[in-house]
Amino acid sequence: MSALATEHVTMPVFGRLDPHAGRADQVAHIAEAARQIRIQDLKLVHYANAGHIGGDLSAADILATLYGAVLNVTPSTVDDPDRDRFFLSKGHVAGILYTTLAAFGFLPVEDLATFLKPLSALNGHPNRRKVPGVEANTGPLGHGLPIAVGHALSAKLDVSRRRTYVLVGDGELQEGSNWEAMMAASHHELDRLTVIVDRNRLQQGATVRETNDLDPLDAKAAAFGFAVVEVNGHDHGELLDVLSSVPFRPGKPTFVIAHTHKGHPISYMSNNAAWHHRVPTLEDLRQALDELGAGTVATNRGSTS
């Protein structure tokens, strides 16, 4: 296997569409970004010979939607105190975060070629001091939601309309710290906080249901004081509509259960626990890229850069 090199990082850079662009154009923009992000991330994991490809791909559409059309943060406002915040609590999918940040111009695409190499800024879990756009150094599970609650409290104290989003894995919700934070979020009426659950129903070696079941997750979140919304986590239109419409209930934080599949949409990976952190072989990679249409010339119609 050849090592990760610059020839393997060829993803186009996507800008943001004009905010007044129509919904169909926005959705198409996000869809193409998500496709390119997946192609790039698969190459990263294959050539770096490490990564968490299953959870990367289940989160790809959520990340592409957030950075492509929802968050009011761009490379030029990455230090603006009043930017929206996104916290990646499931920090082990750093690969898809780096790829997404590169796709939207927060770091040079060629930097992706350093993924996991000695002294690279692109560690197996994200570091905010090394990667522009990263808001917290996550990795241990159950940390992102309390941090997001803290940030949403700061926004409320500032009487700011900035929004706070946090992406958690569903298996991660087995950590009690999340539920501590959810109680505080509803107690403080943090209605500009949105928790997105990457509900892929798989954890490291088995299903969530077999391991320590979360259901009924919707009822639990509602009981903890959240407005609960369920979406298809791979449908860019649904994600765009929901994530840009929060809050749904004044005074209540939002809990978006995004139904996803680990490894989506690669046929042999999708919904298969074996692909939590398995590395695709060259043959696996070729098939995956073929399924994503990577052989065709990318159309970068949304780019404003």
Partner 1 sequence: MTPPVRTPQRSLADQPRYDCRNAYVDTLADLAHTDHRIVGVVNDSIGSSKLDAFKRAFPDRLINVGIAEQDMVGVAAGLANGGRIPFVSAASCFLTARALEQIKADVAYSDRNVKLCGMSPGVAYGELGPTHHSIEDIAWLRAIHNMAIVVPADPVETAAAMRWAAATEGPVFIRVSRMSVPQVYSDDYTFRPGKAVTVRDGDDVTVISNGTVLWRALVAAEQLAADGIEARVVSMPTVKPLDTDAVIAAAAETGGIVTAEEASTVGGLGGAVAETLAQHHPARMRILGVPEFAPTGSAGYLLDRYGMSPEGIADTARTLLTSPRQ
| Contact residues: partner 1, CB under 8 A | 81, 85, 87, 127-129, 135-140, 142-143, 145-155, 157-158, 176-177, 180-181, 183-184, 187-188
Angle at 53 between CA 119 and CA 233, to 5 degrees: 125
- At closest approach, how far in Å is the CB of 236 from partner 1? 28
Choice between 175 and 284, CB closer to partner 1:
175
- At closest approach, how far in Å is the CB of 55 from partner 1? 19
Choice between 12 and 140, CB closer to partner 1:
140
- At closest approach, how far in Å is the CB of 156 from partner 1? 9
Report the run of H or E that residue 93 belongs to, with start and end. Answer: none
85 phi and psi angles, rounded to 5 deg: -110, 140
207 strand-pairing partners = 202
Choice between 91 and 233, CB closer to partner 1:
91
Q: Which of 139, 165, 142 is nearest to 152 (CA)?
A: 165
Q: Which of 270, 268, 261 is nearest to 283 (CA)?
A: 268
Choice between 64 and 152, CB closer to partner 1:
152
- At closest approach, how far in Å is the CB of 82 from partner 1? 10
256 phi and psi angles, rounded to 5 deg: -100, 115
Report the run of H or E that residue 87 belongs to, with start and end. Answer: strand 85-88
Around 126, how many Cα atoms within 13 Å sit in the side-chain half-sphere?
27
- At closest approach, how far in Å is the CB of 162 from partner 1? 8
Q: Which of 216, 232, 137 is nearest to 243 (CA)?
A: 232
Buried b (16+ CB within 10 A) or exposed e, 39-49: bbbbbbbbbbe
Choice between 41 and 135, CB closer to partner 1:
135
- At closest approach, how far in Å is the CB of 157 from partner 1? 6
8 A C-beta contact, residue 190 and residue 252: no
- At closest approach, how far in Å is the CB of 289 from partner 1? 35
Choice between 58 and 178, CB closer to partner 1:
178
- At closest approach, how far in Å is the CB of 152 from partner 1? 7
CA–CA dist 199, 179 (Å, integer): 16
Choice between 146 and 263, CB closer to partner 1:
146
8 A C-beta contact, residue 165 and residue 239: no
Choice between 35 and 85, CB closer to partner 1:
85
CA–CA dist 214, 228 (Å, integer): 15
